[in-house]
Amino acid sequence: MIELKSDKDIDGIRKSCKLLAQLFEEVGPQIAEGMSTYDVDALCYDFMKRHHASGPCKGYMGYPNVTCVSVNDMVIHGIPDKHTILKNGDIVSVDICLEKDGYVSDSTHTYEIGKVSPEVHQLNEVTNRCLYLGIEAASKPHARIQDIGAAVSGYARKFGYGVVRDYCGHGVGYSIHEEPEVPNYVSLANPNPRLRPGMVIAIEPMINMGTYRVKTEKDGWGVRTMDGKPACHWEHTVAITSDGLEILTQL
């Protein structure tokens, strides 16, 4: 069931989202070659502690960290560790949920480490553009969930990229994952509810340089591309209000 948020709830989610946007603004410039993915997680955890917030991913179904840090062919859910060291040419997605005063925000930024190949840079640029095309589709009058997937997949496939099907965006605000699901592709088999004021959703294109197919690591969390080619992930939490769509996780 899709839970519509009140104006009061959206204001609480907005405050959580703005704090998450500030986290990315502070931590993002510090992510660099030679750091471990654990170091990235530690920076995010320190920010949360200093701002009296928490990372609801930690402990969620046994997940051990406050962030997911996914490098190169890791699409999502990469568990931060001390032996995965960021190298020149890497692409790294940092996916963070933050909880503040009982409200949850969710956003992902992808960073290029040092000088990446032109192909990897294009993947990152296209995936970011997919995010904003999905948001633009959601902002139109009478928009439906699958309008988002049509915009994302329609653009990504112009470049021959694979659009991940096994994972998708989702409702957010009271908890990490809520209804509705927000796929990045179109299917007659998927629900297609109309977007209504009070809905808060995470729009998150996950785009692969090669095949859309993915596989799960032995740890039960990390998801890699089936062909070992790089993947990219961008995400914003947005609210549908009576005044239109608002990107909450953006300063």
Q: What confidence tens digit (pLDDT) does each residue in 148-180 have?
A: 999 999 999 999 999 999 999 999 999 999 999
Structural domain contains residue 24: yes
Query: Could you read off the pLDDT of 49-76 as tens digits, one per residue?
Result: 999 999 999 999 999 999 999 999 999 9
Structural domain contains residue 1: no
Q: How many domains does the chain have?
A: 1
End-to-end CA distance of the chain: 30
3-class state of residue 170 by DSSP:
strand
Q: In whole numbers, what is the pLDDT of the chain averaged over residues?
A: 98
Task: Identify the band that residue 106 occupies on the pLDDT scale cut at 50, 70 and 90.
Answer: very high
Task: Identify the band that residue 21 occupies on the pLDDT scale cut at 50, 70 and 90.
Answer: very high
pLDDT value of position 171:
98
Structural domain contains residue 152: yes
Structural domain contains residue 42: yes
Task: Identify the band that residue 232 occupies on the pLDDT scale cut at 50, 70 and 90.
Answer: very high
Q: Is 102 left (phi over 0), alpha (psi -120 to 50) or beta?
A: left
pLDDT value of position 189:
93
pLDDT value of position 11:
98
Residue with tokens 């694979």: 162
pLDDT value of position 38:
98
Instruction: Provide the residue range defining the domain that includes 175.
Output: 7-247
DSSP string, 92-154: EEEEEEEEETTEEEEEEEEEE-SS--HHHHHHHHHHHHHHHHHHHHHTSTT-BHHHHHHHHHH
Residue with tokens 């949360």: 48
The half-sphere exposure of 14 on its side-chain side, counting CA atoms within 13 A, is: 16
CATH number at residue 178: 3.90.230.10
User: Six-digit token pair at 105?
Assistant: 């925000």
Structural domain contains residue 2: no
pLDDT value of position 218:
96
Q: Determine the Cα–Cα distance for residues 50 and 30; give it in Å rounded to an integer.
A: 17
pLDDT value of position 179:
98
Structural domain contains residue 72: yes
Structural domain contains residue 83: yes
Listed residue (175, 169, 239, 171) closest to 204, CA to CA: 169
